[in-house]
Chains A and B, each alone.
Chain A
Amino acid sequence: MAGTAHGFSVRRYAPERGAFAKLAARDSLVRRLDWPLLLSAIALSGIGSLLVWSATRNRDTLNHGDPYYFFFRHLLNTGIGFALMVGTIWLGHRTLRGAVPVLYGLSVILVLAVLTPLGATVNGAHAWIVIGGGFSLQPSEFTKITIILGMAMLLAARVDAGDQQHPDHLTVLKALCVAVPPIAVIMLMPDLGSVMVIAMIILGVLLASGASNRWIFGLVGAGVLGAVLVAVLGLLDEYQINRFAAFANPELDPAGVGYNTNQARIAIGSGGLLGTGLFKGSQTTGQFVPEQQTDFVFTVAGEELGFLGAGAILLLLGVVLWRACRIARETTELYGTIVAAGIIAWFAFQSFENIGMTLGIMPVAGLPLPFVSYGGSSMFAVWVAVGLLQSIRLQRPMTA
């Protein structure tokens, strides 16, 4: 892109640069954006809208008789998400650094609100706030961002100030304390999927922060131990145990807990190389896969778009993560590196868990596929994250 711009001599004859020319200028904000990242995110959201449409156009009970209901809403969510990204870029991650405590506090209050009568239960997890008018919020999505920002702020503060080479033990401990309240509340919901994602985010954040190896291995060990304890002490709800049992043996109860995974695998497997074509999958049209527009959206891609289409989604996710990794490596301050690493861990694990469960290599957990799954909260959160990544890349100085 830059090379093409060199070939033109527009600027030379333009005494005053117009608005468009300003945007197109070599050192302009727009030109310096990470376009592969942005275009991949847009492509994923676009494919998502088609898949959501295909999955819901027959579901009369869900779509209120309007086959385009979810299609338009997904596009709307994408638009709002895009606007949030633009806003995030405009504000800049450094500006936001100052507002982190406030944002963090807000997100914890939202999560807590779920536990009040405002909250609603969907699929066994009491993780939603119904706003009305068909809208509902899943506050745990936003806590993913505020935990990343909060931890990054604490961990990077003294390193970026040049006081330390790496965050000391006390700083790490403080940073971990940031994550504890939201995790505790989310566990109460219980929204096990989000807890797992947040655990991975913490791991990514600590990795990038340069915290001592002891913390990394200690936390991994504690996680394993905790999982064993939870299983042994029976702290999980029955439906959660059943999901794991069905994961271990999908034939266990094909009409019950194993149903989702079984039907999902049939849908994906029957897609073959090219798929049945959009809107033509019998599994999708027959609505055999539950939650197909949200958690199991990947099965629509598998069945109707085949290996090539589903592979394309993996490829686009790969581009997003590759660009994010680049941004994490190339930024000069630790704060940006940590935020980027947290987002990488979040996107990577959530995508792996979501697609993995439809492919039968991960247990079922209620997590959306970033950009693709229907769902406002998730869509807003991932686009804000894209905004943060872009902002880190731009390395803009604080505006205020």
Chain B
Amino acid sequence: MTNIPETGRTSRVTIRLVVLQVLVFSLLLTLGGRLWYLQIRNGQEYTDEAKNNHVQQVVQPAVRGSILDARGVPLADNETKLVVSASRTELMKMKDDGKAVLARLADVLDMSPKDVADKVRLCDAKTPQPCWNGSPYQPIPVTSKATTQQALQIRERAEDFPGITAEPTAVRRYAAPGKANTAQVLGYLSPVTDAEIEKAKDSDSPYLRSDQVGRSGLERTYDKDLRGKAGVTRYEVDNLGRVIGLAKADKAKPGANVVTSIDARVQAVAEYELLDAMKEARKAFDKNTNTNYKADAGAVVVMENKTGRVVAMASNPTYDPNAWVGGISGKDYAALTGKNSNFPLLNRAIQGQAAPGSIFKVIPTAAAVNAGYDFNASYPCPSSYSIGGQTFTNYESKGHGNISLGGALEVSCDTVYYALAHQQWQRDGGTKPKKDAKDWFYKTAHQFGLGKETGIDLPNEVPGRVPDRQWKQRFWEANKDAWCKQGKKDGDFVQKIAFENCIDGNRMRAGDSVNYSIGQGDTLVTPIQMASIYAAIGNGGTLHTPSVGKAVISADGKQVREIKPEVRGKLPITAATHKLIDGALEGVATRGTAAWRFQGWPQDKIPMHAKTGTAEVYGKQTTSWFATYTEDYSIVMTISQGGTGSGASGPAVRKIYNALYGLDQTGKFDPKKALLPEPQKNLPTIQPDGSIEAPEIKPYVPEPKEQPAEALAGPGANGTQRTAGPAGRGAGTAARDTMQGSD
């Protein structure tokens, strides 16, 4: 080339050619750099992605485990039903968003087109139930109650029903064996949400889009155990999904069964008797309000003393948990959650809180002994007790002379406790508390486990409240602004209370202390707390964490994880004091306020202990409380706006004991009728094929009704307190403290 002479190429062109060359090579360098970045620096990331790319998962959902009673009777299991589902993604592809298809479907299923359309719409803040709360990519169940004929129609006319499937599917069944509904304890399921899928994505138990998740009760607490693990088969596929090979197959692992300590038969009795007691209470006249008792809610807990296990737990009003299966209807949802529903979803045994009234008195009794008072000394029980012009009376203003603390428990003498609480309040410094204030009465309540959740294996338990100085201070700080706004010195009762509260609502006044000592004022407890306390007294002083779950057994019965009873504390009483309190509570059942309910009871064979309570609630009728225990069991029952403790709850509790031990009202023992004279020890056997040996259950046949006159009459001394006038200052908040107030 050197032989070719250079022509008159201008420098402009030469420079431009150099520029062009530089540009060209910088482009190539850019590509090289990017190639290095993708292949070398981030290569691993893309290698992983490529792996996922050509693997397709086929998911086999796991069958949810059953919830069993103590003997293996299924309380919740699965049944195969014809489920008709609609694929939203398919419907949305149609011109009319699938309206025509849904209308045809409604016609076949004998449902209104609106109901069908509502069921497949997606839930959001503005959309009321029914709506689909699960993933929009998952077929949405329209009904799980399709008949075979309806399913056949849909499947044979597939061209008329694009995106609609009718498949036999395992759906949850709440069988209510022997009419033991157990609704609030079991809880319910609803579809998994996208948010939950995202959250559990990297956990060891991720959700499938088709999963149902336990939303309350045992279904929620033991959701992980019950859910099992879906089977995943991984196929290597090409871009068209044609299978090239099998990569990995994990078999579906069915969910484990949860064995509970619930006995379906006892549960059925408890539910029946609770409802019956409430019905009876509604027939009784309340002379304070001049109407019949409303008996708007109630709960009963049957607990094993030595383990804290729950044998039965009933809450009323109740509902049929099967309403949730296959998507809840709008009507059902309103009936369960609406303003006028009285909230049957609430488990009042753990979520209802109320002032305990006199069943609280075992706590001030123990507190008094710990504060140095002699149990057996004589304490005056006048008809009333005055503090600075305020008069606190006994129930029906009756005096009992000088009695021991045991006697005070037996006859439920309020004035004994008023005097002791007042003395202690003064000793602690009154409204200006000392630094080392002992606060015996409050401290003891905390030691009995009040003011916080018991820790039962059911979700959303409420803590109740011990209205001690710390609480008063916190409560005042939270509410003083509202009180000061509302309060009027010369206004009506409520305004006066607000005025006083505004000024010094943070101070523990003598009246507060005195009211608290008999389980009134701002004191709040749940039935499960009281059952746990009485079970602890029944077993010699050990507080257990109440539990419903007893064991988790794998579907093939091979792996058993027992849920051992847990001790959460000791009652702050000595063995000697325990013996005295135990004797006094036996006295209540034999001579005292509960004796009339235990006529004919074989006390020598099965010693019965009891305490009645009738708590006042501002603006409402009295709350009935009845706490009892034998050697093995304790039963606590309460009825909101139900009347007196022994009057409203007494007969029901007696009948539950009758059923447990095989007794009738006269005390006659029939071993064949005894449901559970001793707590169930052995776990049910689950066969390798998953079948469960469970005894058959006969429905509960209640004894023929006694004469109604007898049921409602009874001795007056029932342990009801009247708190006089403005002394009931806590009453300003009482309306909030009713049983249905705690959501």
Identify the A interface with B (CB < 8 A).
58, 165-166, 204, 207-210, 263, 265-273, 282-283, 285-288, 302-303, 306-307, 310-311, 314, 317-318, 321-322, 325, 328-330, 332-334, 337, 341, 344-345, 348-349, 351-352, 355-356, 359-361, 395
Contact = CB atoms under 8 A, between A and B. Distances in A.
B53 A263 contact: yes
B32 A270 contact: no
A333 B4 CA distance: 11
Contact of B49 (A207, A269, A330, A356): A269
Contacts of B28: 314, 317-318, 321, 348, 351-352
Shortest Cβ-Cβ A-B pairs, 9 listed:
A269-B46, A270-B50, A286-B238, A348-B24, A332-B7, A272-B43, A352-B27, A307-B39, A325-B21
Contacts of A332: 4-7, 9
Given A322-B25, A344-B24, 14 more contacts: A210-B12, A210-B13, A266-B53, A269-B50, A282-B236, A302-B35, A307-B36, A318-B25, A333-B7, A352-B28, A356-B31, A359-B31, A361-B30, A395-B4
Interface in B231-271: 236-240, 244
B17 A286 contact: no
A310 B30 contact: no
B34 interface: yes
B31 to A, nearest CB: 5
Nearest to B7: A332
The interface residues of chain B, by DSSP majority, are classed as helix
Contacts of A311: 32, 35
B31 A273 contact: no
The interface residues of chain A, by DSSP majority, are classed as helix
Nearest to B35: A310
A373 to B, nearest CB: 16
A208 B16 contact: yes
Interface string B116-150: 00000000000000000000000000000000000
A268 B1 CA distance: 42
Contacts of B203: none
B34 A330 contact: no
A269 B20 contact: no
A285 B32 contact: no
A266 B50 contact: yes
A210 B11 CA distance: 9
Given A286-B54, A359-B34, A270 B47 contact: yes
Contact of B53 (A204, A208, A288, A345): A288
B13 A325 contact: no
Nearest to B23: A348
Residue of B9, B16, B238 ringed by the most chain A CB atoms within 10 A: B16
Contacts of B5: 332
Contacts of B10: 165-166, 210
A208 B24 CA distance: 14
A344 B20 contact: yes
B14 A329 contact: yes
A266 B44 CA distance: 10
Nearest to A330: B1
Given A166-B10, A282-B54, A286-B54, A269 B43 contact: yes
B13 A337 contact: yes
B49 A270 contact: yes
B19 interface: yes
Contacts of B54: 282-283, 286, 288
B34 A361 contact: yes
Nearest to A325: B21
B628 to A, nearest CB: 65
Contacts of A306: 39
B24 A325 contact: yes
Given A272-B40, A286-B238, A306-B39, A337 B27 contact: no
Interface residues of B, number: 46
A283 B35 contact: no
12 contacts: A210-B10, A263-B53, A269-B39, A269-B50, A270-B50, A283-B54, A288-B53, A302-B39, A307-B36, A330-B1, A332-B6, A360-B34
Contact of B17 (A307, A329, A349): A329
Contact of A271 (B4, B31, B43): B43
B45 interface: yes
B252 to A, nearest CB: 27
B21 to A, nearest CB: 4
Contacts of B47: 269-270, 272
B377 interface: no
Nearest to B32: A314
Contacts of A267: 50
Residue of B21, B51, B244 ringed by the most chain A CB atoms within 10 A: B21
A210 B49 contact: no
Interface string B399-415: 00000000000000000
B238 to A, nearest CB: 4
A208 B14 CA distance: 8
A334 B7 CA distance: 10
Contacts of B38: 265, 268-269, 302, 359-360
Nearest to B240: A287
A264 B120 CA distance: 38
B31 A314 contact: yes
Nearest to A355: B31
B682 interface: no
B42 interface: yes
A91 B598 CA distance: 124
Contacts of A328: 17, 20
Nearest to A32: B1
A288 B39 contact: no
Contact of B35 (A166, A303, A321, A359): A359
Interface string B633-670: 00000000000000000000000000000000000000
Contacts of B21: 325, 344
B31 A352 contact: yes
A265 B12 contact: no
